[in-house]
Homo-oligomer: A and B are copies of this chain.
Amino acid sequence: MSGAERDDRDARADKRRQRSAGAAETGPTMADLAAIAGVSAITVSRALRDSPLVNPETRARIREIANRHGYAFNISARNLRLRRSMTVAVVVEMTPSPERQMSGAYPLDLLGGITQELTSHGYSVLLTSLQAAATPAVQAADGVILLGQGAHEDAMHEVRSWGRPMVVWGAVSRHESQVVVGSDNRAGGAHVAERFIALGRRHPAFLGDSAHGEFAERHEGFAEALARAGIVSTMATVPAFTVAAGADATRALLHANPGIDAVFAASDLLAIGAVRALVELGRAVPDAVSVAGFDDTLLGATYVPALTSVHQDFVEAGVLLARKVRALIDGDVAQSEMLPTRLVVRAT
């Protein structure tokens, strides 16, 4: 580095220091690196982006200088210039409510898949709750992924109104006009039905709530598969998705229908409630009554008796969600998609 160049750089830095007294120390800019390397700023820009336009030697030299001077890329400047944020907002329901109790770490797996896929393609993941979603940063996101359990129609409309590419996690069949990624809830329900049939069960019941899109799909798959075998199932609606609610509903169910010999619960939490109530009522599980849950949670697998449950792959789902927003952002088309489910047979 020549003396003149150093002077140049120092002068710049001094100027900066002067202008914004007290502001955060900022490192060198591309212009600084350019001055040091004796090239123009645009060449630095190209070199750092591995543009084929720049001479390999020049690039190597610039790279080296950047490293040596601790150069930090200014992403705001790029985003301003490029008019995109390279950011995807993920809207999650994070506040657990009694009615929508978290049945495990599943959103975390979803988030893991999303983050993995997005960050490896240059995007950042902006985490928001629906309540705090209307911030400028979120509005500026290039795309939105909407997670959250339940009948989140409102959330969907709200987010859609932002006019950004959007992908939703949930019940595929319910939202034709959206790009939705979800598990094949129908097939999951059918798997359970088939198992109940194979076990010779004749009076199965479903524990859940049709207002919840994914639960409704599970019920449909279940009821249809049973119907094909000439079996009619009973529907028991729960007011909440907790163990206690599952137990209460099961007690009521058996009071009204003492002949029930199989229960398919829309979630593992409800299933555990069902097992608990059944045992209390003196019905042996699984000898007298079979039980199956949904989600294949650690909770269910660890419970005694270990719960038979329908497994879904949340990490894969997260990756898929991320891929689809990316496609949408790039102006490509994206289709809704269902991930396969499989029944994990355990003790119930």
Q: A residues touching B (Cβ–Cβ < 8 Å)?
A: 20, 23-24, 26, 72-77, 79-80, 83-87, 90, 94-96, 101-105, 107-109, 111-112, 115-116, 119-120, 122, 124-129, 132, 135-140, 243, 269, 272, 276, 298-299, 302-304
Contacts and interface: CB of A to CB of B under 8 A. Distances in A.
18 contacts: A72-B139, A73-B140, A74-B80, A74-B140, A75-B85, A75-B136, A76-B76, A80-B80, A95-B116, A102-B105, A102-B298, A111-B127, A119-B129, A122-B135, A124-B126, A124-B137, A124-B138, A125-B127
Given A119-B128, A140-B72, A302-B303, A80 B83 contact: no
Q: Name, among A24, A79, A94, A276, the residue most crowded by chain B CB atoms within 10 Å (CB to CB).
A: A94
User: How would you classify the secondary structure of chain A's contact residues: helix, strand, loop or mixed?
Assistant: mixed
Q: How many copies, total? A: 2
B125 A126 contact: yes
B20 A136 contact: no
A24 B87 contact: no
Given A83-B20, A136-B75, A137-B87, A129 B115 contact: yes
Contacts of A94: 108-109, 111-112, 115-116
Q: Name, among A77, A80, A84, A298, the residue most crowded by chain B CB atoms within 10 Å (CB to CB).
A: A298
B83 A24 contact: yes
A317 to B, nearest CB: 14
A129 B137 CA distance: 20
Nearest to A104: B105
Given A102-B298, A124-B137, A126-B126, 20 more contacts: A26-B83, A73-B139, A74-B140, A76-B79, A76-B85, A76-B140, A80-B80, A87-B137, A95-B116, A96-B109, A102-B108, A105-B108, A111-B127, A119-B128, A119-B135, A124-B128, A127-B127, A243-B302, A272-B302, A303-B304
